[in-house]
Chains A and B, each alone.
Chain A
Amino acid sequence: MIKGDKFDSFFKITEKVYYGFIDLFEDKNPLHVNDFFAQSKGYKSVVMHGNILGGFLSYFIGECLPQKNIIIHSQQIKYHNPVYLNQQIILKAEIVDVFESVNVIELKFNFEDEHSNTLAKGKIQIGIIL
């Protein structure tokens, strides 16, 4: 993996993912589970939990990169637009820096909807386990 390498991954927040997240972590804030509440706050319907995107990010790092001997050191994510149930999401990532002295790679990533609107973006630092 070298600086400039780019990766795309496609995701969808299915009912399995949504209800699985609620079942595991029990975040039942009305914004996430009550359509009437979400709509009263200006959203189309219930808003998906931001950390579901964190789960997709984990999958991307763990399963989609060409190397498997990696570990996440740190990550930052900023949310820009709400994500809804059954929405198609594209994760675009690029290696922006490589630190060979300590076997570290930094990627920037962007979650986008089908119209290329940014849903969330951030940076993630991973270590190569030798």
Chain B
Amino acid sequence: MKNNEELNYVIKKVNAIFNDVLENDDIKINYETTVKDIDEWDSLSHIALVVSIEKSFQIRFTAKEIQDFKNVGEMCEGILLKLGNKK
């Protein structure tokens, strides 16, 4: 796992994106969060979430990377990996 501080920062930023895209400020995500935990997370909002995350962090995932993420935490680690590769 990446540095916890960095990971927590990314999860916090991704949480804000979830709140914004899903229009629900009560949503609180953590490492283990999956699509089953959030009612508003449907197929169309999933697309909006990915687009917003890619825009916000100025990164691009592949379709396979998105499919392989098992939970929010793995996606956030994927974000950190992309950001690290950009340096």
Contact = CB atoms under 8 A, between A and B. Distances in A.
Say if A and B assemble together.
yes
Contact of B63 (A101, A106, A127): A101
Nearest to B49: A102
A99 B48 contact: no
Interface residues of A, number: 12
A6 interface: no
Interface string A109-130: 0000000000000000101000
Chain B residues touching A, majority SS? helix
B85 interface: no
22 contacts: A73-B44, A73-B47, A74-B48, A97-B55, A99-B50, A99-B51, A99-B60, A100-B62, A100-B63, A101-B50, A101-B54, A101-B60, A101-B61, A101-B66, A102-B46, A102-B47, A102-B50, A102-B66, A103-B63, A104-B51, A106-B51, A127-B47
